[in-house]
Chains A and B, each alone.
Chain A
Amino acid sequence: MPKTEEEKGFVDVVNGRYKPKGKFHISEANQPIFNKDTGKLAGVTNPRDMTYIHSYGGEAVFFESLGKGKLMATRCDNDNCETKGSIYQPFRIFCPDCLRRATVIDMTEIAQKTAKIHSFIVTHRSGAFNSLPKPIKFINIEFEGVVTILMSVLAVGDPAIGKRIVPIFNTKAPTYTITDLRFVPEGTLESELPEGFTF
């Protein structure tokens, strides 16, 4: 049963601390587990309804930008780093080699012009809490000039290695999670995009 609006938990940051409001868990009594064949007690259930409160830290700009239709990445600009100039997607707050803070860059255009499927998988399976439509079409994406290969999902059409794709963003009702970023084949029409998504 979905929680009512007043049962939902919300959190703000106020004066440098998390400030929760609303309801964060609904207690539910445990139940015994019996062996139906012997009639004997085997154990008990332990119901839990938990909400985690999680900081994006230095990656917050990445997740916030998705809702604005932008794909942010980072680049090491440290002159003394032997991998200077490397662009990272997934976004890394620090360069993995020199451990200096990397520069945040907007790579939306690079993605629009060069994104290509490196590998993919289509699966009808998912775990609890999944919010993606099934089947899920996982894709891994190469971008020109980017040293890593991002994982995302293809929202329209069928995946194939080498296929040119473009990013789409959940700009109308962002969830501020990685699911706000998806990809579609180049040439997909705006009308074909999932609800809430724009190029």
Chain B
Amino acid sequence: MIKFSDKQLKIPNLMKPVYLATVGMSKFGRAFPETRTEELCIQALTDAADFVNMTPAELKQYIHTCYYGHFADHFGDQLLGEAVIHDRLGLDPLGNIGVKTGGATGGSAMWEAVKAVASGYSDCALALGWERMDEVPTDEGNHLISAAADKDWETPLGHIYTGYYAVMAQRYWKVFGKEEDSFRRTMAEVSVKNHGYARMNPHAQAPMKITVDDVIKSPIVADPLRVLDCCLMSVGSACGIVCDEKTAYEITDNPLRIYIAAGSHTLRVADRRDMTIPLLPNETPNQYDNLGKEFPGADRYPGFTGFLAARMAAYYAYRMAGVNDPTEDLDVVELHDAFTISDIQTYEDIGIRPYGQGRDYIESGDAYVINPNNNKPGALPSNPSGGLIGCMHAVGATGLMQIAEIGYHIWNRWDDIHEPQAKWDAFGREKPSDWTSLQVNGAKRGLAISHAGVGSHVTCTILMDPNKILKED
């Protein structure tokens, strides 16, 4: 589709307000050779119960339907893995369904849960996701991941998904980054920031104190991408429970409002056709008329440099939630930093910066909890969890981890989750002696982007303190 009808551009409407009551996460790691997936899922749901001072049995009493995010079941040679987990969580005979949208699976599971509550079908719904990619040899794992590309037109070319994505990075690097050393360093700063934030997160898999030069000198994957530009491959689980107003306040005194929307785009990047840029509320008609002059080669949209699915998810979600300008209206974001450069592309797709100016979000210091340029709080901190680069990318759980992390900030309970020595000990991880709180002080609204591969599916979740909503119901 290259033109949209008014019906297709309708702003999504939830028939009643939906609230996020609680969230939970397991430990995340590269491999868990002596742990079954269900053990991690139970860890996440138990964590969600602990968060609202309930036993898991008490919390389960509220759940009416379940939405499970688990993408790559061919890794486990187990179909209906959702039914296995549902049974082990002791939630039979409740209705449940599995959701599979690649890297966006976690966000998509939440999309389904929110709609179930908004429609009145359920008063309380569980969205829980997990992934494990550690149970095959690495090269076979690469093949299995490449099966998420087109079986006939892409997978036979190398059986390596990174190659299908990286051509987009190359185009952005050449057209918008202009192959400048300064842009390369800005890309690296994303990795330095996110690995650094992961140091404060006991759940995180890749805490690292590194420099820009460490990133630039790390082993090459596909120029300009180096190992430290890339996200992790992880095992773990995360969940969130959404409710109508009455049920939410039975579970907790301070649930958060949740809005969520989704977009999509061609599975093969090769199938993208040119179109005009759908504008976000903080953009103006004709704003991009000279984009191709300013950045030679940028005359095609979305071309290889924009993620239309992310743009559309934000297009719907911002108007749904009353967000005009993300930097003004939001306090913290968790973005899908699959690669340092795709993180920068996303800043533009979701309107944190206009197309062509994504790098400024990092360079200005706005993306940091503490702006390194002036030592004041950053305007819109990004990925204090460590993101996919520093914390985890357990595909089906990632989007739910991001939502949980945004929730912790707005609940002002980020420290409860990330500070306790007992948790560092239980996870067998050493708490750094310079551990620092990354709580975004006074956070009232936040956003999480859950994104699949080359951009086939994206969800945009917005959480708000119910006293700080931007749009009357």
- Are B146 and A97 neighbours in the complex by a CB distance under 8 Å? no
Does B431 sit within 8 A of A, measured CB to CB? no
Other-chain contact of B168, A48, A119, A123 (Cβ < 8 Å): A119
Does B139 sit within 8 A of A, measured CB to CB? yes
| Chain A residue nearest to B137 in the complex (CB) | A128
How many A-B pairs have beta carbons closer than 8 Å: the answer is 144
User: What 1/0 mask marks residues of chain B from 271 to 298 whose CB sits below 8 Å from any chain A CB?
Assistant: 1111000000000000000000000010
Does B142 sit within 8 A of A, measured CB to CB? yes
User: What 1/0 mask marks residues of chain B from 34 to 57 whose CB sits below 8 Å from any chain A CB?
Assistant: 100000000000000000000000
Residues of B within 8 A of A161 (CB): 171, 174, 297
Residues of B within 8 A of A151 (CB): 153-154, 157, 164, 167, 268-270
User: What 1/0 mask marks residues of chain A from 119 to 151 whose CB sits below 8 Å from any chain B CB?
Assistant: 111111111111110001011100000011111
Residues of A within 8 A of B145 (CB): 127
- Are B170 and A128 neighbours in the complex by a CB distance under 8 Å? no
Interface residues on A, range: 35 or more
Other-chain contact of B166, A123, A152, A179 (Cβ < 8 Å): A123
- Having A90-B271, A125-B222, A151-B154, one finds 17 other A-B pairs with CB under 8 Å, namely A35-B33, A86-B273, A96-B1, A97-B1, A119-B170, A121-B170, A123-B166, A127-B145, A127-B146, A127-B161, A132-B157, A138-B158, A140-B167, A147-B273, A148-B271, A149-B269, A177-B156
Residues of B within 8 A of A128 (CB): 137, 139-140, 142-143, 159
Secondary structure of the A contact surface, majority rule = loop
- Are A127 and B167 neighbours in the complex by a CB distance under 8 Å? no
Residues of A within 8 A of B272 (CB): 148-149
Does B79 sit within 8 A of A, measured CB to CB? no
Known A-B contacts A119-B304, A123-B160, A151-B269; A90 and B2 likewise in contact (beta carbons under 8 Å):
no
A54→B152 CA distance, assembly (Å): 10
Residues of A within 8 A of B170 (CB): 119-121
- Are A123 and B270 neighbours in the complex by a CB distance under 8 Å? no
Residues of B within 8 A of A126 (CB): 139, 142, 158-160
Q: List 11 A-B contacts (CB under 8 A).
A: A46-B77, A54-B152, A59-B152, A92-B271, A121-B163, A121-B166, A127-B158, A128-B142, A149-B272, A151-B154, A151-B164
Residues of B within 8 A of A82 (CB): 3
A86→B152 CA distance, assembly (Å): 22
Does A153 sit within 8 A of B, measured CB to CB? yes
Name the interface residues of A93-115: CB closer than 8 Å to any CB of B. 96-97
> In the complex, how many angstroms separate the beta carbon of A178 from the nearest chain B beta carbon?
5
Residue numbers of A with Cβ under 8 A of B are 33, 35, 42-43, 46, 48, 54, 56, 59, 63, 82-83, 86, 88-90, 92, 96-97, 118-132, 136, 138-140, 147-153, 161, 177-179
Known A-B contacts A54-B151, A56-B152; A132 and B158 likewise in contact (beta carbons under 8 Å):
yes
Does B328 sit within 8 A of A, measured CB to CB? no
A96→B265 CA distance, assembly (Å): 13
Residues of B within 8 A of A48 (CB): 77
- Are B158 and A130 neighbours in the complex by a CB distance under 8 Å? yes
Other-chain contact of B162, A35, A123, A149 (Cβ < 8 Å): A123
A90→B141 CA distance, assembly (Å): 26
- Are B146 and A138 neighbours in the complex by a CB distance under 8 Å? no
Residues of A within 8 A of B271 (CB): 88, 90, 92, 96, 148
- Are A90 and B297 neighbours in the complex by a CB distance under 8 Å? no
- Are B160 and A136 neighbours in the complex by a CB distance under 8 Å? yes
| Nearest 8 CB-CB pairings of A with B | A127-B142, A127-B159, A127-B143, A123-B222, A119-B171, A121-B166, A128-B139, A128-B143
User: What 1/0 mask marks residues of chain B from 393 to 415 whose CB sits below 8 Å from any chain A CB?
Assistant: 00000000000000000000000
Residues of A within 8 A of B269 (CB): 140, 149, 151
Residues of A within 8 A of B160 (CB): 123, 125-127, 130, 136
Does B221 sit within 8 A of A, measured CB to CB? yes
- Are A127 and B140 neighbours in the complex by a CB distance under 8 Å? yes
Name the interface residues of B58-98: CB closer than 8 Å to any CB of A. 77
| Chain B residue nearest to A89 in the complex (CB) | B270
Name the interface residues of B98-145: CB closer than 8 Å to any CB of A. 137, 139-145
In this complex, which of A35, A82, A119, A136 has the most chain B Cβ atoms within 10 angstroms of its Cβ?
A: A119
In this complex, which of A35, A88, A123, A161 has the most chain B Cβ atoms within 10 angstroms of its Cβ?
A: A123
- Are B152 and A130 neighbours in the complex by a CB distance under 8 Å? no
Known A-B contacts A90-B268, A118-B304, A153-B157; A138 and B142 likewise in contact (beta carbons under 8 Å):
no
Other-chain contact of B171, A46, A90, A118, A150 (Cβ < 8 Å): A118
Residues of B within 8 A of A122 (CB): 222-223
